[in-house]
Amino acid sequence: MRFSLWINNSQSWDEILATAQHASASDWDGVWVADHFMPNAEDVSTDMHEAWSLVAGLSAAVERVRIGVLVSGNTYRHPAVLAKAAATADHISGGRIVLGLGAGWQENEHEKYGIDFATLKGRMDRLEEACQIITRLFTEERVDFAGEHYTLTDAPLEPKPVQAPLPLLIGGGGEKRTMRIAATYAQEWNVWGTPEVLARKNAVLDQHCADIGRDPAEITRSSQGLVFLFDDEAKAEEMRSREVGRPMLVGTPEQLVEIVAAYRDAGVDELIVPDWNFPQGEAKRELMDTFITQVAAELR
């Protein structure tokens, strides 16, 4: 099982870099950033660094770990431009990039920047075309494509990514379209969920693979949850009583081993830990070390 860190884009560059470098030095497997330009809230004044700029910077400054976007909003960039950015970052990193891609959902970003939001069907149709384009640009010398939303004419992508293939990760749990797209095009798939939800959705993904004749073992599965580590069971129990709107992994290190084992048993190959609720600076790095040495080490 792999263990990666999801770094909040709203932190300073110095904190983002220090966190990623510590992850690299302390046996984490990857670092991820989100693709958002502003908070999904009425107050949008919070700092928010652009995802692929962060990926390029981290690729040059951080060794060893995989680096990816969880996930790129397809509506924000033409898929050929996104493929070019990912391939370039792959060269900077020496072949460690994961291209996470989703249909796009945060409406206020589209509204404020004048980006077409479209209907859910329209966004899903664009995502499927984008997957076709990106996959072909990574593998073919020239690409012609005439879709409903995108057109390419004798389009090159040089240099190709270092990785063959550069992993395409599809994010989302929609069982009819998103997961069918993942089954068709992705090397990796990601969704939020509890172990119970993930076990069921993994079965759905397996069925989509069977329907198209693909080996489901070809697709790596990942998920994430907010981690709250305590050395006091009373504090852990108080945290469990709260509602934060996301799956939570709460307890002592020994309890978290059991919780994470349930994710593994549900078919999760990579657990991604957001640092959104972690303290800053040295206290964050101490918490990262506790998780990686006392929890992750028991499940690798």
The pLDDT profile of the chain, 300 residues, written as one tens digit per residue, is 999 999 999 999 999 999 999 999 999 999 999 999 999 999 999 999 999 999 999 999 999 999 999 999 999 999 999 999 999 999 999 999 999 999 999 999 999 999 999 999 999 999 999 999 999 999 999 999 999 999 999 999 999 999 999 999 999 999 999 999 999 999 999 999 999 999 999 999 999 999 999 999 999 999 999 999 998 888 888 889 887 889 999 999 999 999 999 999 999 999 999 999 999 999 999 999 999 999 999 999
Q: How far is CA 113 from CA 50, 75, 107, 110, 220, in A?
A: 14, 12, 10, 5, 34
- Asked whether the beta carbons of 35 and 62 are under 8 A apart, the reply is no
**Distance, CA of 263 to CA of 1 (rounded, Å):** 10
| Contact partners, residue 158, CB within 8 Å, separation at least 6 | none
Q: How far is CA 104 from CA 1, 80, 82, in A?
A: 28, 17, 14
CA angle in degrees (0–180, nearest 5) for 298-299-300: 105
Strand, coil or helix: what is 80?
Answer: helix
- Residue 172's CB is within 10 A of a number of other CB atoms, namely 21
| Contact partners, residue 226, CB within 8 Å, separation at least 6 | 244, 246, 247, 248, 249, 274, 276, 277
Q: Which of 142, 234, 222, 125 is nearest to 181 (CA)?
A: 125
Residue 48 burial (10 A CB sphere; 0-12, 13-18, 19+): middle
DSSP for residue 279: P
Decide: pTM greater than 0.85. Answer: yes
- Asked whether the beta carbons of 171 and 71 are under 8 A apart, the reply is yes
φ, ψ for residue 134, nearest 5 deg: -65, -45
Q: How far is CA 237 from CA 186, 229, 254, in A?
A: 38, 11, 14
Total residue count of the chain as it appears in this document: 300
- Asked whether the beta carbons of 252 and 231 are under 8 A apart, the reply is yes
Go through the domains of the chain in sequence order and give each one's CATH number: 2-298 (3.20.20.30)
